[in-house]
Amino acid sequence: MGPLAAALDALPKVELHCHLEGTMRPSTLVELAARNGLRLPTSDPTELYRYDSLDGFLEVFWTVQSALGGRDDWARLAHESLLDSAAHGVVHTEAFFTPARHLAAGQDLASVVAGLDEGLAAAEAETGTRCLLICDMDRAFGPEAGRQLVEELVALRRAGSPGVDRVVGVGMDSTELGIDTRTYLPAYDVAGAAGLRLTGHQGENSPASAIAACLDVLGLERIDHGVPVLDDPELVARMAGERVPITVCPTSNVVIAHVVERLEEHPYPRMRAAGLLATVNTDDPALSDLDLGKEYAAVAAAFGYGWDDMVRIALDGVEACWLDDSDKRPLRERVRSTAARLAPVEV
């Protein structure tokens, strides 16, 4: 690891697009599968996370989800996830979890949330890294299931269910093809009325017009992926002017979604040059042999960014997060002061 990569690994960073299920250690998958009676295609942890297409990736992701049999498993996943991200400079994260398949299989949302909170609280005490949660609707289950999920989450909030105060937002993920984004308005209306923050995956394999619909119809505050935004100059001007965050996952867009063939072809530097609040994130780091330190180093190398460029990206992560301004200020200062101390002599 060179001096820039080492400094980027240690730089305090914010992660805003990471799926907890996509952080599961391969060894943990083997252990949970054995405990829950899940047959894996191989017991060799080094072979578990191999795929050559988006469909292949989804099969792996669904296998990981299937290994989560109950509250203790969710707690272990969350605990290990935060430990692993904190080891690479993540000091604040707003992580997704997608419970639709588990609820359909008979698990209870309250138990899932309580398990996640238990694991995260333990990891926060050990690392000092903070994690908030975003409950994602799985578009493969349709908008009505999404609305029901949000209504159940809101009911848990009203009841003061254990750990639910950690869930600060609602999103949507999974397939975009053939999905009318506007059909999720009832679910987002319920979430917004309850004071939950709003985001959604759009623009991984859908056009810029779908991103615009997320803002105009659903009222989303952040966009996850947002790759084709540059196809609509008016949308770019609007999002840049309003500082609407886009949580970009450059390496994931290459190895998982195959939006581009090489990282150097990714539109991320043009997004930044256009004034967009485009942050850098990992998406599913365990499934792509990644962590946020590696992602920062890869982005710097691919786009010719120096230390100051990457520090600005880290500060934009602070701006884009959902902490109150009173919490953002010390976080910004931490990034700046640590960056001044870590700055490589030559980059």
pLDDT band at 309 (very low <50, low <70, confident <90, very high): very high
β-strands 90-97, 222-225 pairing: unpaired
Phi, psi for 21 (deg, rounded to 5): -60, -30
Domain borders along the chain are: 3-342
Query: CA 134 to CA 30: how far, in whole Å?
Result: 26
pLDDT by residue (tens digit) across 40-62?
Answer: 988 888 899 999 888 889 889 99
Q: Residue 117 in contact with residue 162, Cβ under 8 Å?
A: yes
213, 247 in Cβ contact below 8 A?
no
Q: What is the pLDDT of residue 346?
A: 56
Per-residue pLDDT for 345 more than 80? no
Is the pLDDT reported for residue 321 higher than 70?
A: yes
Query: How far is the C-alpha of 211 from the C-alpha of 170, rounded, in Å?
Result: 16
From 288, 294, 255, 295, select the one nearest 64 (Cα to Cα).
288
Query: If you search the block for the tokens 């990569």, which residue do you land on?
Result: 5
Cβ atoms of 100 and 149 closer than 8 Å:
yes
Task: Tell me how far CA of residue 140 lies from CA of 137, 145, 254, 279, 286, in angstroms.
Answer: 9, 9, 23, 27, 23
Query: Where in the sequence numbering do the catalytic residues fall?
Result: 204
Residue 347 pLDDT level (bands cut at 50, 70, 90): very low
pLDDT at 183 over 80: yes
| CB environment 115-130: b (16+ within 10 A), e (fewer) | bbbbbbbebeeebebb
**Architecture of the domain defined by 3-342:** Alpha-Beta Barrel (3.20)
Q: What are phi and psi of 92, to 5 degrees?
A: -150, 135
User: What mean pLDDT comes out for the span 183-199?
Assistant: 98
This prediction has a pTM of: 0.97
Percent of the chain past pLDDT 90, that is, above it, reads: 93
pLDDT at residue number 55:
81
